[in-house]
Amino acid sequence: MISRTSEYALRALIYLAQESDRWPIAGKEIAEVTEIPPKYLSTILSALVRTGVLESSRGKSGGFWLARSSKEIYLADVLLPFEQATSKMCPFGNRTCSDVNPCSAHHEWKQVKDTFHKFIENTSLYDVEMNEHRKPKKR
């Protein structure tokens, strides 16, 4: 339901949230541990800095860290910058699909999208991070 870019953004931010005592964390480490291609991750992290979710510093001891507490960063903050371009398109390939001119699956699909949006708007990075703490960390 989300793009690979969004999945990678979420994966990287969960790692940063879990490792908050070690900030800043180099992009190279984030890429290695989360198994995200480094160039792809660099683009994602830069976008998250621009949107105010992350902060960064350059140099030998530079890296990335969350701009605010993981309790104050919602999944919508992480995902929507990467999903906006496709969120208005009909996933069934119809050129015109809206409440006024719906495709045959519009009303059901709208319910799915509404539920998804409620979830990402009400679930913080902290909520997800806490569930991830139960899994062993890769290093």
* CATH of 4-132 given 3.10.580.10, 1.20.1260.10, 3.40.50.150, 1.10.10.10: 1.10.10.10
For the chain, domain boundaries: 4-132
Q: Are 30 and 41 in contact (CB under 8 A)?
A: yes
**Partner residues linked to 124 by β-bridges:** 74
pLDDT tens-digit profile, the chain (139 residues): 788 999 999 999 999 999 999 999 999 999 999 999 999 999 999 999 999 999 999 988 899 999 999 999 999 999 988 886 555 677 777 777 788 888 888 888 889 889 999 999 999 999 998 765 544 454 4
Q: Are 92 and 110 in contact (CB under 8 A)?
A: no
Q: Where are the beta strands (DSSP E) in the chain?
A: 54-57, 63-66
